[in-house]
Amino acid sequence: MPGRVTIYDVASEAGVSISTVSLALNTPARVSDRTRQRVLSAADALGYTPKTEAVAKARKGVGRIGVLAPYTAYPSVARRLGGVLKAVGDGPLEVVVYDHASAARSASPLLASLPLTGRLDGLIVMSLPLEDGAARRLGDSGLPTVLVDVSRPGFDSVHTDDAEGGRLVAEHLLERGCAAFGFLGEAQVSDAYVSPGQRRLAGFRAALHDAGRRLPPARVRYTAYGLEQAAEAARELLSGPHPPEALFAGDDTLAAGALRAAGSLGLSVPGDVAVAGFDDSELARALDLTTVRQPLEESGRAAAELLVQRMGGGPAAVREVTLRLELVPRGST
């Protein structure tokens, strides 16, 4: 009685390598349609029966990408994921979501744990800095990877210029005639990486310096992330002996806390204090908050497109996409 047909038999019949058969059946997005059909025809002719899931994926041409990000920490990340899903649409790709703790809340914030398994054909990492070891693992694995909201040599990336965003806010507040400034940002457990908030603060401070203004350390506050925590920190700042006339918050949630603090102290906005945020979230629109608009959905879409190109054997050169920021003035300034 003839023995069971193996992957070696399929490779010989199709005239391809064993690894190509494996790719065609398990990660079909990494081979051409023609090659996949050739492998499937050989498997059918020989009566080869691989795992059911592999057959289904191969016949549909389905590939699987992972998206790793701190979803439960920041509303902005969910909007980036929405861009990825929209780009993928009804195409032949499955999206697997991996939640990860916020880097700001970790004593070891550099991303070391990665879902490197044969079940993924590509990976998008959002708003999480890579450590050297993780970067090496990704490079050694050959897994196509795109970074969002961060950048690193050797990796395709999509990001914005956070420092430029801080500059936009400072220039706007200066044009409005403000003279005393404050900043409210998210506290970090570790200083092992530079966060977007720190870059926004650096740009804000640099623009003020260029205009002959200072941002004293006493008017910079850091807080745990959240509306209530931000409101408490802003209350301390706004009720001090030398309160700011204008307060820039690292994102819209922190800015919403600042607005709540101003209201609890009987301060008018923008009469007594102007408030600006970052992201242009639904919250910002509801609160009539001046903010910096990030193209969040666009960043997810661009990352997905880069990844699909990379999975299909795209250009060898590393690509870096920088998206434009826009100041959105509203009633809070």
pLDDT, tens digit only, all 333 positions of the chain? 356 788 888 889 999 988 888 878 776 767 787 888 888 888 878 877 666 556 666 656 667 899 999 988 898 999 999 999 999 887 778 898 988 878 777 666 656 666 665 578 899 999 988 888 788 888 887 889 999 999 899 999 999 999 999 999 999 999 999 999 999 999 988 787 889 999 999 999 999 999 999 999 999 999 999 999 999 999 999 998 899 999 999 999 999 999 999 999 999 999 999 999 999 999 999 999 999 999 999 999 999 999 988 888 777 789 999 999 999 999 999
Query: Using CA atoms, how far apart are residues 102 and 188, in angstroms rounded to an integer?
Result: 10
> pTM for this one?
0.80
The token pair that represents 165 in the structure block: 């965003």
Q: How far is CA 277 from CA 112, 208, 254, 292, in A?
A: 31, 17, 7, 7
Taking the C-alpha atoms of residue 258 and residue 250, their distance in angstroms, rounded to an integer, is 11
Strand 326-328 with 291-293, pairing: antiparallel
**Dihedral angle over CA of 30, 158, 70, 96, nearest 10:** -20
Helix segments in the chain, DSSP class H: 7-14, 18-26, 33-46, 52-60, 75-88, 132-141, 162-175, 196-210, 227-238, 252-264, 282-286, 296-311
